[in-house]
């Protein structure tokens, strides 16, 4: 595609849109040139902050006619480069869509704008004794619109599902400026094609989300958290499936290699957790429900299951402070690794029972291709984040040899029935590997769907597809 | 579209496909000329029964090149005319795809061919202590492939979700004969567009499903069933939401107007249920779980909630026989109505709390347009089946006035945030109303997606779209 460079006449048009702010200053352009993906950096030509659907529609219609690329941006917490304006042009910054429009307590639904911080939304509906479960590690800063665009997960997906399982209906703006709803505010729908689920996870490449209707569930009142130290990482992975096979579904079941926890402990500079030398991995296991007595029984039963493996003493966290401390450690692993070295994060996902094999393969490929990895993630879903740290790898190996190792890893993941992204999306940094997950038939079909929505290719160009 | 009439040379080609049976005899053509939708009847020119994916691929590739219409058929239990060969041509009868290929007990997944009867699949996985919840009323005869194509629901959707919530991955054949998988066998997936959910509910118009990977959950061991007779149907609808607002999620919450239960009782010619003259509606409420003590508590709490309304004595069914009898009565309502009169069945769905308003509107529109309706369905999801009986309505009113009444009803449903089909699909009989649920933008988008998959329009022509 050939795109137009933004001209003064274009800026004049953008400035004429009611309620829309237009920024071309260095600070705003720099802010929108990066997200949380590695150290990548792509400058946009202009940052636009509309305040309503009409504004988004006017921007898209104009850019579609003028062939100006538009990259929608949420909070910029993405890990696959989805918000990077790789072709310059407009960054469509949705931060002023920050209102929760309606909590429907009769029907357990919330209608929100996309620029609301996920945790703010969660806390708001909790005041009505309702629960929106998906909780990505960045929940304190990410936007719900970005979560929908990436089909985000988080620790509680293992029991409650991912974002797609909560999205009922979306108001979206098409590249030509048309505004539409994708579905209806109902729990069951057999009316035409499922446009809603086509937009969820489409990473801002099909249309721009301006309103979101989410289904909620009744709030859960109690939970308990266990930190289980394993002397063998392989056994920790194996224990994950043993818990499910015994009939328990924890509300979180997280795996952390020793380095992940150790680096995070150093990064947050606190805790009080002891980490004996022979511990190589931990499981962080949460159970939740409304009956405290039942929870204690479940926690004890799970403790008994993991005691069948070579473990050290289990930490039962039952105060709010202890739980928060453990969750902070878990959530900060990504930042901790980032602060430690240049790194790449892969987001592998396999059928849950294949985790031990996946971990062994990662380490074996690492040995073959000369990279060190720190693995952690949502083991209960088979979703393992593989943080590959550069450390003392040469630039040449990092740039040329490592991609071959990643290719080999993804090939193995797909062989196991898995795929290359569980919750981060493809965005910019995984698109070169799409041919591993999909055949030409599948890729052609996806590209044709993209063309139906966005014939001029103005929306988030350079993402998902090579 | 102009379609070719099947010629002797075409039949010769079909007969040459390995493992595929070709039928042109009256009996087979008649069998495939109808489904369970009203008394509609459309003759195909030939019925093909392939036995493998290669056979389906060969049929589609040939028909695509020759412009011969192909209507995929499951068990023919559909209620929207999805399996009717309205343009003649080939009926692609999937009944020989009747094998459950693999139960993965480690990952709680089943891989099945589409021609397996849903109940057979449910009973098979139950042997492994696993549970596939979606249970349409026709579960004893419908095929799982048809369920996926229509995104079917059933009573247990209220707690466990509909078919789309269990489909992980599909092997499909495209109209040009290409075979592909739509996703991966994982619980989380952020890799490209969600082709799986685009195919679920697409009613055989995009591609033909040849393998299905379903997620399963651990089997639930206990349940209890309550039949609650109400003196006011409006109060029965209101009680539905009261149960949820108190924090209970029954595993089924079914509503039946008096006529629905009475006609079904007469149809199955048994029971032992008394039906006092002043009872106008029933709720059938199931709770399930693994803890019998907890279930009794839940059932008692729900009984207490409904006792706040004007009800007669609650029937607590706790033997297997009693439960089966009540479920049989519920499942046979559709057939009972059908045996009683010419009828049309609408499949309205609204946000749950709007049910009382929906019921009032149905009755008021019925009075205005001169039709009698028998309403029943999955009240817990806001999904109400409206059976409009012809009784002594004139043919002229039935054909000309009634559609205006249905149009008015659907307009009200959409105004309430609902839509025109919750679980039956659009198929043939609802396509004239799609403009009520969708704008031109939405309909154009769906049609363009159809063209991407099926540029020659050979797959299930005349469905979903006008």
Residues 6+ apart with CB under 8 A from B353: A104, A106, A107, B241, B382
The answer to whether the Cβ–Cβ distance between A194 and B197 falls below 8 Å is: yes
- Please indicate, yes or no, whether residues B201 and B228 belong to a single structural domain of this protein: no
- Please indicate, yes or no, whether residues B171 and B263 belong to a single structural domain of this protein: no
- Please indicate, yes or no, whether residues B319 and B174 belong to a single structural domain of this protein: no
Q: Inform me whether the C-beta atom of residue B293 falls under 8 Å from chain A C-beta atoms.
A: no
- Please indicate, yes or no, whether residues A200 and A230 belong to a single structural domain of this protein: no
Q: Does B291 fall in a domain?
A: yes
Query: Chain A residue closest to B417 (CA)?
Result: A185
Burial class of residue B270 (count of CB atoms within 10 Å of its CB; 0-12, 13-18, 19+): exposed
Please, are residues B239 and B306 in contact by the beta-carbon 8 Å criterion? yes
- Please indicate, yes or no, whether residues B173 and B311 belong to a single structural domain of this protein: no
- Please indicate, yes or no, whether residues B258 and B395 belong to a single structural domain of this protein: yes
Query: Chain-wide mean pLDDT for chain A?
Result: 96
Instruction: Provide the edge-to-edge strand list for the sheet that holds A179-181.
Output: A100-104, A109-112, A208-215, A167-173, A179-181
- With CA atoms as reference, report the closest residue to B414 among A425, A44, A192: A192
Lowest model confidence (mean pLDDT) among A213-222, A261-270, A405-414, B403-412:
A261-270
The answer to whether the Cβ–Cβ distance between B449 and A446 falls below 8 Å is: no
Instruction: Provide the edge-to-edge strand list for the sheet that holds A70-73.
Output: A21-23, A46-49, A90-93, A70-73
Write the residue in B351, B422, B449 that is nearest to A107 by C-beta.
B351
Q: Per residue in B49-101, pLDDT tens? A: 999 999 999 999 999 999 999 999 999 999 999 999 999 999 999 999 999 99
Q: Which residues in chain B come in under a pLDDT of 50?
A: none
The answer to whether the Cβ–Cβ distance between B351 and A294 falls below 8 Å is: no
- Please indicate, yes or no, whether residues B348 and B323 belong to a single structural domain of this protein: yes
Write the residue in B104, B158, B350 that is nearest to A186 by C-beta.
B350
Query: What pLDDT does residue A271 have?
Result: 67
Please, are residues A329 and A376 in contact by the beta-carbon 8 Å criterion? no
Residues 6+ apart with CB under 8 A from A291: A222, B294
What is the C-alpha to C-alpha distance for residues A157 and A251, in angstroms, rounded to an integer?
8
The answer to whether the Cβ–Cβ distance between A421 and B190 falls below 8 Å is: yes
Please, are residues B238 and B283 in contact by the beta-carbon 8 Å criterion? no
Question: Residues B256, B258, B261, B264: what is their CA dihedral angle, to the nearest 10 degrees?
Answer: -120
The total of other beta-carbon atoms located within 10 Å of residue A266's CB is 12
Chain B hits for A148, CB-CB cut-off 8 Å, are: none
Q: Does B162 fall in a domain?
A: yes
Interface of B with A in 169-228 (CB under 8 A): 174, 178-195, 197-198, 200-202, 206, 218
Chain A hits for B426, CB-CB cut-off 8 Å, are: 190-192
Range of the domain at A348: 221-422
- Please indicate, yes or no, whether residues B225 and B344 belong to a single structural domain of this protein: yes
- With CA atoms as reference, report the closest residue to A424 among A79, A49, A33, A4: A79
What is the C-alpha to C-alpha distance for residues B192 and A449, in angstroms, rounded to an integer?
11
Interface of B with A in 29-68 (CB under 8 A): none
Is the per-residue pLDDT at A345 higher than 80? yes
Query: What pLDDT does residue A408 have?
Result: 98
ipTM, interface predicted TM-score of the complex: 0.97
The answer to whether the Cβ–Cβ distance between A441 and B381 falls below 8 Å is: no
Write the residue in A185, A424, A437 that is nearest to B351 by C-beta.
A185
Chain A hits for B202, CB-CB cut-off 8 Å, are: 193
Handedness of CA B22, B26, B28, B34 (dihedral sign): positive
- Please indicate, yes or no, whether residues B138 and B225 belong to a single structural domain of this protein: no
How close is the nearest chain B Cα to the Cα of A410, in Å?
A: 12
Interface of A with B in 359-418 (CB under 8 A): 378, 381-383, 414, 417-418
Number of domains comprising chain B? 2
Dmax (CA) for chain A in angstroms is 70
The answer to whether the Cβ–Cβ distance between A107 and B353 falls below 8 Å is: yes
Write the residue in B351, B445, B446 that is nearest to A186 by C-beta.
B351
Write the residue in A218, A290, A426 that is nearest to B191 by C-beta.
A426
Looking at A186, A218, A250, which one is the last position of a domain? Answer: A218
Chain A hits for B150, CB-CB cut-off 8 Å, are: 190
Is the per-residue pLDDT at A3 higher than 80? yes
Chain A hits for B200, CB-CB cut-off 8 Å, are: 194
- Please indicate, yes or no, whether residues B277 and B387 belong to a single structural domain of this protein: yes
Residues 6+ apart with CB under 8 A from B12: none
Chain B hits for A201, CB-CB cut-off 8 Å, are: 189-190, 193-194
Distance of CA A369 to the CA centre of its chain: 27
Q: Does A158 fall in a domain?
A: yes
Q: What percent of chain A has pLDDT over 90?
A: 94
Six-digit token string for A23: 């920024």
Write the residue in A184, A192, A434 that is nearest to B464 by C-beta.
A192
What is the C-alpha to C-alpha distance for residues A364 and A462, in angstroms, rounded to an integer?
32
The answer to whether the Cβ–Cβ distance between B152 and A218 falls below 8 Å is: no
Lowest model confidence (mean pLDDT) among A197-211, A334-348, A443-457:
A334-348
The answer to whether the Cβ–Cβ distance between A351 and B186 falls below 8 Å is: yes
Domain CATH for B384: 3.40.462.10
Residues 6+ apart with CB under 8 A from B352: A106, A107, A187, B240, B241, B244, B379, B380, B381, B382
Looking at A218, A238, A256, which one is the last position of a domain? Answer: A218
- Please indicate, yes or no, whether residues A194 and A140 belong to a single structural domain of this protein: yes
Q: Does B303 fall in a domain?
A: yes
Six-digit token string for A190: 């057999």
Q: Does B65 fall in a domain?
A: no
Query: Chain B residue closest to A249 (CA)?
Result: B218
- Please indicate, yes or no, whether residues A228 and A318 belong to a single structural domain of this protein: yes
The answer to whether the Cβ–Cβ distance between A418 and B184 falls below 8 Å is: yes
Domain CATH for B125: 3.30.465.10
Chain B hits for A188, CB-CB cut-off 8 Å, are: 153, 157, 162, 349, 378, 381-383, 422-423
- With CA atoms as reference, report the closest residue to A338 among A38, A137, A77: A38
Query: Chain A residue closest to B153 (CA)?
Result: A188
- Which residue of A166, A169, A191 to mutate against B (max B Cβ within 10 Å)? A191
Q: Does B432 fall in a domain?
A: no
Write the residue in B184, B194, B426 that is nearest to A417 by C-beta.
B184
Please, are residues B177 and B57 in contact by the beta-carbon 8 Å criterion? yes
Distances (CA, A) of B278 to B64, B311, B312: 59, 10, 9
Chain A hits for B450, CB-CB cut-off 8 Å, are: 193
The answer to whether the Cβ–Cβ distance between A198 and B201 falls below 8 Å is: no
The answer to whether the Cβ–Cβ distance between A180 and B441 falls below 8 Å is: yes
Q: Does B51 fall in a domain?
A: no
- Which residue of A188, A216, A356 to mutate against B (max B Cβ within 10 Å)? A188
Looking at B218, B234, B255, which one is the last position of a domain? Answer: B218
Q: Does A440 fall in a domain?
A: no
């Amino acid at each position: 595609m050939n795109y137009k460079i933004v001209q003064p006449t274009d800026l004049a048009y953008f400035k004429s849109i009611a309620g829309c702010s237009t920024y071309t200053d260095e600070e705003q352009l720099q802010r929108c040139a990066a997200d949380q993906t590695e150290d990548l950096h792509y400058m946009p030509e202009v940052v636009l902050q509309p305040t309503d659907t009409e504004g988004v529609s006017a921007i898209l219609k104009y850019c579609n006619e003028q062939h100006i690329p538009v990259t929608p941006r949420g909070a910029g917490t993405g890990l696959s480069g989805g918000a990077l304006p790789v072709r310059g042009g407009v960054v469509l910054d949705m931060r002023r869509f920050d209102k929760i429009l309606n909590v429907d307590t009769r029907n357990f639904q919330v209608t929100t704008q996309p620029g609301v911080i996920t945790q703010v939304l969660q806390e708001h509906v909790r005041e009505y004794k309702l629960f929106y479960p998906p909780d990505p590690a960045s929940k304190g800063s990410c936007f719900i619109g970005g979560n929908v665009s990436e089909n985000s997960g988080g620790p509680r997906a293992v029991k409650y599902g991912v974002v797609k399982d909560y999205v009922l209906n979306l108001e979206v703006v098409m590249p030509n400026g048309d505004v539409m709803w994708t579905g209806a505010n109902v729990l069951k729908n057999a009316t035409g094609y499922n446009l809603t689920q086509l937009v969820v996870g489409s990473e801002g490449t099909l249309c721009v989300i301006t309103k979101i209707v989410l289904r909620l569930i009744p709030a859960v009142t109690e939970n308990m958290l266990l930190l289980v130290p394993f002397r063998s990482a392989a056994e920790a992975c194996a224990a994950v499936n043993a818990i499910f096979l015994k009939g328990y579904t924890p509300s979180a079941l997280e795996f952390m290699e020793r380095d992940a926890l150790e680096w995070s402990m150093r990064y947050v500079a606190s805790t009080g957790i002891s980490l004996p030398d022979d511990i190589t991995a931990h499981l962080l296991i949460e159970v939740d429900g409304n009956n405290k007595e039942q929870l204690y029984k479940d926690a004890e039963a799970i403790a008994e299951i993991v005691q069948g493996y070579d473990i050290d003493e289990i930490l039962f966290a039952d105060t709010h402070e202890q739980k928060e401390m453990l969750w902070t450690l878990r959530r900060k692993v990504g930042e901790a690794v980032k602060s430690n070295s240049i790194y790449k994060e892969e987001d592998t996902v396999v059928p849950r029972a294949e985790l031990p094999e996946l971990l062994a393969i990662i380490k074996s490929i690492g040995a073959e291709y000369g990279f060190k990895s720190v693995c952690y993630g949502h083991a209960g879903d088979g979703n393992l984040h593989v943080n590959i740290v550069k450390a003392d790898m040469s630039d040449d190996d990092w740039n040329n040899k490592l991609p071959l190792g990643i290719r080999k890893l993804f090939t193995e993941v797909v062989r196991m029935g898995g795929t290359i992204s569980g919750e981060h999306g493809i965005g910019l940094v995984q698109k070169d590997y799409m041919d591993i997950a999909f055949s030409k038939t599948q890729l052609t079909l996806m590209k044709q769907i993209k063309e139906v929505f966005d014939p001029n290719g103005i929306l988030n160009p350079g993402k998902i597809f090579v």
